A and B are shown apart, each in its own frame.
Chain A
Amino acid sequence: MPTRRSRARDDATGWLFVAPVVVILAVFLLLPILMAMWVSLTSWNGQGSPFRSDVPFVGLDNYDRLFTRDDLARENFMISIRNNAYYVAIVVPLQTALALGLALIVNSRLLKGKSFFRSAFYFPSVTSSVAISVMFLFIFSNSGALTQLLDFFGIQGPQWFSDARGVLHLLLGMDTPPAALAGAGPFGLSWWEWLAGPSVAMCAIIALVVWTTSGTFMLMYLAALQDIPVTLEEAAKLDGAGRWQRFRYVTLPMLRPTMFLVLTLGLIGSWQVFDQIYVMSQGAPAKTTLTPAFLSYRTAFRDFDYGAGTAISFVLFLIIVLLTLFQRRVMRERRS
């Protein structure tokens, strides 16, 4: 009996101690999310509070519109999903591989001036993303450094930020859709549009993002690499494992938790890409850099359609959660 009473008291004390954090989380995290969820069920127009009794309640109409109704709202949303899917598919593997590569270089015993390179690689990550975006605008502009560099080698580069052509279309050298793909595909977008690939303009943004984020992830890999006991590697060496084998069968498995972290953070971050789009392109050219995060912002703050804008961000949230769960599952299966 006394034990039970004391446990109850312990519980109460515990709750008392975490109460400040719980309250702060509830007020600044949970409550706003619940409020946003309410807004996504209304057609609030941004005037006054969304919690008045005369704000029209529309149920799931805002969500319905994104998927089933054949109009511009759905088309824009689907285009943004397509753009962002290609973006994620390229950015996540690239930044993961690049970060690992940089970490291996910086961690190698042969490299001189390690701390210099470490800072240099990390530098883009600590610089403001807006400043970097503006710098890339100059580099990729029609008379910018990159265009002139390509010119020097006799290559006529594209007009990066005004080129709406899809990369996959370009690679295949196709201008017009073949009959099989011209028809309507899922959600009102033709197969031809779904399969366009990221546009040239989007590729410039992808290059920027990979360059900026890989520094942060390099640090994570670096920490993990330095955690691997030297003895392990020496043991592998004694067993006669070569360089590649040591990397493939000793280092890489030891990095698996970090790999999961980097992939998850990368996935979440790249589905939410906003500031680069806002600064560099605002969705142009021809909507090929439109992303759900930017579309949500535009729908809410430009069209005063806060309900639809919030609905987009909840769908985005759902996509991210589902993909993360899926990814966790895949990585766990490979472990067992």
Chain B
Amino acid sequence: MKHLPLAALAVLALAATACGSGFEDKPAAAPQSSGPASLRILIASSGDPETTAVKQAADAWAKESGNQATVTPAQDIHQQLGQAFAGGTPPDVFYVDASRFADYASVGALEPYGDKISNPDDFYPSLRTTFTRDGTFYCAPKDFSTLALIVNDGLWKKAGLAASDVPTTWEQFTEVAGKLKAEGITPLAIGDTRDRIGAFMVQAGGWITSADGKQATGDSPENLKALEYVKTLLKDKLAEYPKQLSASWSGEAFGKGKAAMTIEGNWIKGALKADYPDIQYTAHPLPAGAKQGTLSFTNCWGIAAKSVNKTAAVAFVEAMTRADQQLTFAKAFGVMPSRQSAKDAYVKEFPTDTAFVDGAAYAQGPVNAAKMDSVLSDFDAGLQQLTSKDPKALLARLQKNTQSALSD
């Protein structure tokens, strides 16, 4: 009887191995079901308008195609997807954030269906690159946003500046910022992460990785030039981070009139309308360094590699990314269509957004490489202390960490 616990443990271990054999994946691709499909769709919604709009579109598609489509807004989509992949029952269709795309694609969670969508070349090339890995275009971009220079028209006039003074180069930007600087007014409020300061790196001609996401290029002289330029702006108080302006993000500082300019995406429209309806502003392309540059943010419609309803899922995505459907979404919750053929109609509807839409031509997407999340948040932590740190050391650190993440 003394050995009973041991014996029990042995039995348990045996049982575990027996279960183990049951864990083996079935060979080859997941079997595809035929007949009407019941699609599960997980979305990371920006709010009620988006949830309602996507639900309506999904219902319309389901009715027309004779399938079923259930749309669920996620609480925390990264966590929910992570658990669903591990459990082997992921939703059929889900949003994939561009910054997480490489992680999902590298572990084989995504179905590379990009070329099955009609007219894939109609998507902006920069967005297609964002969702391409090892030469395969994985998933259709849902919509996108880019960064632009947002200018407070009132403060602009007060500083004696005309519409023609909007800066197009870094030199002009410094000059204009000097004129805007006044008691209680910071010329530029800029977010303290790679998602804003990175735009300067792109303008200087650099980026964190090479275009194919295989080489680390963090410590390039172009990047150094960009960080040194931003550092001068910060040092001369021509630019400040939101928290120095006691704001939670740049839009808040801009809305309160503490900053005359900011660098944000088209989401700022909705935020300003809701919180600071009186402010007069215009959006302009970001000033160019060695070249024009901005950053783009986007999601794609991911289809799970394990889905049993891939044909229906592709048909669903096809319907969601049609130009007219994208315009409906744009009107409902203010996103920009990812198809070039929808551009003219969009600009006609929202003429003030020209600067954002035009950015698509020269925008850089998020870093397209796996396991970079912790590396990039480490870089962000460095950028937050840019004024007191040596940009060269920051970039060297970024380079070292990126190399080690890419070689994993």
B20 at the interface (CB under 8 A from A): yes
Task: List residues of chain A with CB within 8 A of the CB of B66.
Answer: none
> Given A8-B1, A31-B12, A72-B378, are A51 and B23 neighbors across the interface (CB < 8 Å)?
yes
A109 at the interface (CB under 8 A from B): no
Work out how many contacts link A and B, with CB atoms closer than 8 A.
96
Contact code string A1-39 (vs B, CB < 8 Å = 1, else 0):
000000010010001000000100010001100110000
Interface of chain B, helix or strand or loop or mixed?
Answer: helix
Among A239-247, A262-270, A301-309, the stretch in contact with B: A301-309
Cα A8 to Cα B78 in complex, Å, equals 55
* Chain A residues with a Cβ closer than 8 Å to the other chain, count: 42
Check B384–A164 contact: CB distance below 8 A: yes
Task: List residues of chain A with CB within 8 A of the CB of B82.
Answer: 46, 300-302, 304
Check A49–B23 contact: CB distance below 8 A: yes
Cα A162 to Cα B385 in complex, Å, equals 12
A162 nearest in chain B by CB position: B243
A118 at the interface (CB under 8 A from B): no
B83 at the interface (CB under 8 A from A): yes
Check B107–A45 contact: CB distance below 8 A: yes
Query: B360-394: which have CB < 8 Å to A?
Result: 370-371, 373-375, 377-378, 381, 384-385, 388
B282 at the interface (CB under 8 A from A): no
Contact code string B68-89 (vs A, CB < 8 Å = 1, else 0):
0000000000110011011010
Check A46–B85 contact: CB distance below 8 A: yes
Least CB distance, A201 to chain B, in whole angstroms: 12
B4 at the interface (CB under 8 A from A): yes
Check B381–A287 contact: CB distance below 8 A: yes
- The one of A47, A72, A175, A306 in contact with B108, judged by C-beta atoms closer than 8 angstroms, is A47
A159 at the interface (CB under 8 A from B): yes
B23 nearest in chain A by CB position: A49
Cα A242 to Cα B80 in complex, Å, equals 60
Task: List residues of chain B with CB within 8 A of the CB of A142.
Answer: 243, 246-248
Cα A260 to Cα B408 in complex, Å, equals 45
Cα A302 to Cα B247 in complex, Å, equals 28
- The one of B20, B243, B385 in contact with A159, judged by C-beta atoms closer than 8 angstroms, is B243
A286 at the interface (CB under 8 A from B): yes
Contact code string A278-294 (vs B, CB < 8 Å = 1, else 0):
00000101110000000
Check B20–A51 contact: CB distance below 8 A: yes
- The one of B88, B243, B404 in contact with A48, judged by C-beta atoms closer than 8 angstroms, is B88
Check B103–A304 contact: CB distance below 8 A: yes
Query: B3-31: which have CB < 8 Å to A?
Result: 4, 8-9, 12-13, 16, 19-20, 23-25
> Given A45-B107, A51-B23, A52-B25, are A298 and B374 neighbors across the interface (CB < 8 Å)?
yes
Task: List residues of chain A with CB within 8 A of the CB of B401.
Answer: 71-72
Check B374–A303 contact: CB distance below 8 A: yes
B283 at the interface (CB under 8 A from A): no
Check A304–B404 contact: CB distance below 8 A: no
Task: List residues of chain A with CB within 8 A of the CB of B13.
Answer: 34
Cα A51 to Cα B24 in complex, Å, equals 7
Cα A301 to Cα B405 in complex, Å, equals 17
Check A30–B12 contact: CB distance below 8 A: yes
Check B16–A34 contact: CB distance below 8 A: yes
Query: A133-175: which have CB < 8 Å to B?
Result: 141-143, 159, 162, 164, 175
Cα A303 to Cα B408 in complex, Å, equals 12
Check A72–B374 contact: CB distance below 8 A: yes
B233 at the interface (CB under 8 A from A): no
Cα A305 to Cα B374 in complex, Å, equals 12
Q: Which 10 A-B pairs have the closest CB atoms?
A: A49-B23, A301-B82, A51-B23, A286-B381, A45-B107, A51-B20, A162-B243, A142-B246, A46-B86, A72-B401
15 pairs, CB–CB < 8 Å, chain A vs chain B: A30-B9, A46-B86, A46-B107, A47-B109, A49-B24, A51-B20, A159-B243, A298-B373, A299-B374, A300-B82, A301-B79, A302-B103, A304-B107, A304-B370, A304-B371
